[in-house]
């Protein structure tokens, strides 16, 4: 004889399974160009590789280049002044940079 807790657990598991199946069906429809029933009036695309987002990639590349140039300049400045630094200053630079 089944207990009522077994029935509740089985019902909750089947509800979660059907909700997951519904999510995947809606996701597949959106990938195929169809519209799901998500309440947004259509599908929301977050495709970062589209040509609409080239400005974003240029911005990321510019920040990356800026960080690299800053690191190279900092390295050259420290290399140039390394011999004139005291031992304590050298240790600080070694551990913090």
Q: State pTM to two decimals.
A: 0.44
Judgement on whether residues 33 and 53 belong to the same structural domain of the protein = no
Judgement on whether residues 52 and 97 belong to the same structural domain of the protein = yes
Judgement on whether residues 54 and 41 belong to the same structural domain of the protein = no
Q: Give the structural domain span for 25.
A: 1-45
pLDDT tens sequence across 64-74:
999 999 999 99
Q: How many domains does the chain have?
A: 2
Judgement on whether residues 21 and 64 belong to the same structural domain of the protein = no
Question: Of 45, 60, 75, which residue constitutes the final position of a domain?
Answer: 45
pLDDT at position 93: 82
Judgement on whether residues 54 and 26 belong to the same structural domain of the protein = no
Judgement on whether residues 54 and 96 belong to the same structural domain of the protein = yes
Judgement on whether residues 28 and 55 belong to the same structural domain of the protein = no
Judgement on whether residues 57 and 97 belong to the same structural domain of the protein = yes
3-state secondary structure the chain: CCCHHHHHHHHHHHHHHHHHHHHHHHHHHHHCCCCCCCCCCCCCCCCCCCHHHHHHHHHHHHHHHHHHHHHHHHHHHHHHHCCCCCHHHHHHHHHHC
**Per-residue pLDDT in tens (0 to 9) along the chain, 97 residues:** 555 555 555 555 555 555 556 666 666 666 666 554 545 555 566 666 667 888 999 999 999 999 999 999 999 998 898 889 899 988 888 888 6
């Amino acid at each position: 004889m089944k207990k009522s807790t077994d029935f509740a657990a089985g019902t909750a598991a089947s509800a979660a399974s059907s909700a997951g199946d519904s999510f995947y069906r809606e996701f597949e429809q959106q990938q195929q160009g169809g519209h799901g029933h998500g309440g947004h009036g259509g599908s929301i695309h977050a495709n970062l590789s589209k040509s609409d987002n080239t400005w974003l990639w240029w911005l990321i590349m510019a920040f990356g280049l800026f960080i690299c140039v800053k690191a190279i300049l900092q390295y050259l400045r420290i290399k140039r002044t390394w011999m004139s630094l005291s031992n304590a200053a050298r240790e600080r630079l070694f551990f913090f940079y």
